[in-house]
Amino acid sequence: MYILNESCQMHCVDQLIEICKSSSMSMGYKLRNAHYQLGEIIAEPISRSSNQQQNYAVLILMRAGLCFGNGIADKLEQLGSTVSIIFVNDDKVSKEDLEFVKGKEIIIVDAVINSGKSVFGLIEQLPDTNTIKLVTTVIPSSSTELLKSYDLYTVRVSNNKYEGAKVQVISGGKGPDTGDRLFSTYK
Return the closest-CA partner of residue 68 out of 182, 151, 175: 182
- Radius of gyration of the chain from its Cα atoms, rounded to whole angstroms: 16
CATH classification of 2-183 is 3.40.50.2020, yes or no? yes
Q: Give the start-to-end residue ranges of the domains of the chain.
A: 2-183
DSSP string of 90-109, one letter each residue = TTB--HHHHHHHTTSEEEEE
Please tell me the pTM assigned to this model: 0.91
Gap between the Cα atoms of 112 and 108, Å rounded:
12
Per-residue pLDDT tens digits for 19-73 = 998 888 899 999 999 999 999 999 999 999 886 668 999 999 998 999 999 999 9
Q: DSSP label at 116?
A: S
Question: What is each CA distance from 19 to 22, 103, 181, in whole angstroms?
Answer: 8, 36, 11
